[in-house]
């Protein structure tokens, strides 16, 4: 395959951790249209195993997940030397200054409230963070 046929993003993998199946599908479609490969998780389990296997360039993380919430996942990732350099964008319905501040303190690279963003904005933020 020549370089012109490769995806525009060079096969970069985005890990989307989101329990809303419809939103997960829409985000996956938007990212794939932009040339990214997408790996999906719907719960907060097996994240580190998935990261080791897939080697994502960026993680999109919901805060409200079954079993383990996004705050704990973010904290675990950023405290682990193997994963702390992977950019994380938090996607959530929690739109409070305290939540934004906590996520930034825990190491989130960006924060999007689900009521205030479009799929295009997600794609643009992903592109910006993994250049």
Asked if residue 96 is part of any domain, the answer here is yes
How many CA atoms does the CB half-sphere of 89 hold within 13 Å? Answer: 23
Query: What pLDDT does residue 5 have?
Result: 33
- Supply the range of the domain harboring residue 40: 10-129
Query: What pLDDT does residue 92 have?
Result: 87
Residue-by-residue pLDDT tens, the chain, 131 positions: 333 334 456 679 999 999 999 999 999 999 999 999 999 998 877 899 999 999 999 999 999 998 889 999 999 999 999 999 999 999 988 878 999 999 999 999 999 988 778 899 999 999 999 97
Query: What pLDDT does residue 3 have?
Result: 35
**Which residue in the block uniquely carries the two structure tokens 């195993």?**
49
Alpha-carbon separation of residue 91 from 2, 7, 38, 110 (angstroms): 35, 25, 16, 9
Full-model pTM = 0.89
Query: What pLDDT does residue 115 have?
Result: 79
Distance CA 109, CA 6 (A): 27
Asked if residue 34 is part of any domain, the answer here is yes
Query: What pLDDT does residue 9 have?
Result: 64
Collapsing DSSP to helix, strand or coil, 109 comes out as coil
Give the domain CATH number at 124: 3.40.50.2300
Asked if residue 97 is part of any domain, the answer here is yes
**Hey, CA dihedral for 68, 72, 77, 81, is it positive or negative?**
negative
Asked if residue 100 is part of any domain, the answer here is yes
Number of independent structural domains in the chain: 1
């Amino acid at each position: 395959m020549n370089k012109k046929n490769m995806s525009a993003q060079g096969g970069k993998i985005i890990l989307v951790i989101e329990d809303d199946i419809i939103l997960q599908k829409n985000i996956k479609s938007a990212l794939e249209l932009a040339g990214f490969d997408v790996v999906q998780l719907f719960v907060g389990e097996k994240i580190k195993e998935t990261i080791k296997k897939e080697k994502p360039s960026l993680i999109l993380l919901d805060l409200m997940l079954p079993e383990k919430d996004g705050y704990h996942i973010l904290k675990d990732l950023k405290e682990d030397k193997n994963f702390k350099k992977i950019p994380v964008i938090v996607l959530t319905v929690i739109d409070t200054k305290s939540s934004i501040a906590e996520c930034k303190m825990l190491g989130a690279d960006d924060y999007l409230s689900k009521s205030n963003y479009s799929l295009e904005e997600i794609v643009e933020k992903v592109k910006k963070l993994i250049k």
